[in-house]
Structure 1
């Protein structure tokens, strides 16, 4: 790899920053240009709905690298700029200020954007989305003195922000159209567990209900629901999911299907262009299908893998997806994947009421996903061992507390 080559990374988030780090650690001596639309240097997003939002972590903790790391490692950081086009034939990217930058290899890590709430009144003041550090700061300012908060959507962001609002003393209502929180991610069984967690903390969790509109004169004062009720609100948090930012890839003519389509080495259908993080719909050999994961670990590990792949190394990105959450006194780690309804049984070991247990999702007798709640001695490792082992398991053994978690994969 000559030092004259230029690698361009579009998207200065965790995936992009880790790719740049991987390139330098693997010995790449060429030019690295990392381009980000935000004015902040790369940072991690979990603190925005967790420690930073609740005031327990400082802003500096969210940054991927110290401020001086980029200069010290000769990574050109172009912040506050968007890439508006990719000239694949000419191997150049076009910036919003008219500049163009040539590349030998290109990595796309633009991330995703919050899905808008498509109801009347969604543009009123007091309506919050959460994606950037600025969003987190505005939301914290809005909820830190209490008040009435309505959260639209009981996904991860919705539940974490609901917990944060309760921690500030807010009166919180969560409205979710599915019959359980986290229905797609966890299914109804563990979704019901999280509904109970929030209800015990005084949250009004309304399931199977659609928000039909927001009411107010310039500023939101209430949320209307499809059962005819009106919920008073000083703050509305929209947690209806995200959509991958694929517009640049689409304009460039790359294959796009629920994200940018990439192979197991995170390469697109253009051999000189790669994609990682939220936006990548990657083939995962462990599961034998394409998976687009929106979680922190995918950006962390996918960025590193993409950097190695760009250097021509043999890369097979087959990690089981991983996610963690902190809500009240519940700390949880989840690993694995299943399509909606893509499991036949959920086996638990431990005490759900005491909020200390493991859960395993089985398909065809094999563990495809699992999580633990407040089981930090063994953590998520036993789950990942079972997933990677791929052997059929005895459900009774999974539930048997006399078998140490570390021995579950030993058959």
Structure 2
């Protein structure tokens, strides 16, 4: 194998290039990113960057790194098509050959079919964040569409900076896809306590130049409107190449598509959950970097493992650090420990643990979930002390 091309220069794509060099790959590595500039971290865009405006602090590696590691970085370039038969792709007006192709195309912000939605700002790229930060140059009324991690992180920062914030979520609770009802309620209290007005179960029906209108008819006046209604995976390139897509690029447990010359990783990849076998797509830096390490080892013949890492996620909102270890489903049972830690169970087996400002329990949870199944009856007998199980 002499040439590996990686499409997507986010943290997962960069990690794949780094791992290949660390694992001893001596061939050509080409990393292609649609955005201009060096690869950077996305998580701080909705938090630290909005406060500081320091884009340099987001940079993952300096330009000298790519020269030193002999990684060809092509930025500001979209890949137009993949020719699987010829093992080549078209990008920037030229053809690039590959022996193996890694798709790390990530996601883009979801734009619901709401009249006037184009008037709302996004928060996905550094350019988006810079535009949003500029809009907050003086006290503003802000309307946030969406009560997931990004919308809530922005709301917390905006309130801390002195802006007026109203948030509208179509679901009956905050972060409904990611956390238990108990954690949703806890963070509702946090944000309302900060002075943010929250509308739940009331979808946005219109964005107009001066704000938004909800299904209930409520008008919310705002100079700044943020669209934070979720994301959708970038699968068009894979689909056009004839690869299977289903809410992501479909891969097996080794993160390999049906084409043995193409892998996919990170937010755009749908793979079988190692516990349940159901298809999952994880939107997290941890998953993307772990995927990259596994693919590198497989390509270099160092291992042929299936992906089985314990998922974990985090969200910083004001002074509350939410951490989630594991992956729960909507119907999982919930038990709240005396200190506020939330234990989720599926068929009597621990599926996830949600904590706030409790790094010790979070790390214990990740360790326990990585081993043999943890049963509810054993945890109950131990007073939900993970260290005692």
Q: Same fold (TM over 0.5)?
A: yes
Alignment CA distance shift 1:193-1:80 (3 Å): same
Aligned equivalents of 1:395, 1:226: Cα separation in 2:
47
Aligned equivalents of 1:274, 1:342: Cα separation in 2:
32
Aligned equivalents of 1:52, 1:191: Cα separation in 2:
25
**Pairing 1:111–2:106 present:** yes
Count of paired positions = 387
Q: Residue 67 of structure 1: CA displacement? A: 2.3
Q: Select the residue among 111, 131, 140 that pairs with 2:133.
A: 140
Q: Residue 193 of structure 1: CA displacement? A: 1.4
**Pairing 1:92–2:85 present:** no
**Structure 1 equivalent of residue 200 of structure 2:** 207
Q: Residue 342 of structure 1: CA displacement? A: 3.2
Alignment CA distance shift 1:15-1:289 (3 Å): same
1:263-316 Cα deviation digits (max 9, x unpaired): 111100000100001000012323322210011211222122222222233132
TM-score, scaled to structure 2: 0.95
Q: Residue 261 of structure 1: CA displacement? A: 0.6
Task: Judge conservation of contact 1:160–1:326 (CA < 8 Å) in 2.
Answer: yes
**Map of 1:223-242 to 2, 5 A cutoff?**
223-242=212-231
**Structure 1 equivalent of residue 346 of structure 2:** 363
Task: Judge conservation of contact 2:38–2:62 (CA < 8 Å) in 1.
Answer: no
Q: Select the residue among 246, 260, 267 that pairs with 1:278.
A: 267
**Pairing 1:308–2:297 present:** yes
Aligned equivalents of 1:41, 1:399: Cα separation in 2:
49
Give the superposed CA RMSD: 1.7
Q: Select the residue among 55, 59, 62 that pairs with 2:58.
A: 62
Aligned equivalents of 1:290, 1:382: Cα separation in 2:
26
**Structure 2 equivalent of residue 51 of structure 1:** 48
Structure 2 gap segments, 5+ residues each:
none
Aligned equivalents of 1:60, 1:173: Cα separation in 2:
31
**Pairing 1:17–2:6 present:** no
Matched residue of 2:198: which SS? strand
1:77-126 Cα deviation digits (max 9, x unpaired): 0111111111111000111x3200110000000111100142222223xx
Q: Residue 359 of structure 1: CA displacement? A: 1.1
**Map of 1:4-403 to 2, 5 A cutoff?**
5-55=2-52, 58-95=54-91, 97-124=92-119, 127-215=120-208, 220-312=209-301, 313-339=303-329, 341-343=330-332, 345-351=333-339, 357-376=340-359, 378-388=360-370, 389-394=372-377, 397=380, 400=383, 403=385
Task: Judge conservation of contact 1:179–1:188 (CA < 8 Å) in 2.
Answer: no
Matched residue of 1:258: which SS? coil
Q: Residue 140 of structure 1: CA displacement? A: 1.4
Task: Judge conservation of contact 1:128–1:236 (CA < 8 Å) in 2.
Answer: yes
Aligned equivalents of 2:29, 2:146: Cα separation in 1:
39
Aligned equivalents of 1:66, 1:301: Cα separation in 2:
22
TM-score, scaled to structure 1: 0.90
Task: Judge conservation of contact 1:371–1:383 (CA < 8 Å) in 2.
Answer: no
Structure 1 gap segments, 5+ residues each:
352-356
Aligned equivalents of 2:242, 2:24: Cα separation in 1:
31
Q: Residue 394 of structure 1: CA displacement? A: 2.9
Matched residue of 1:32: which SS? strand
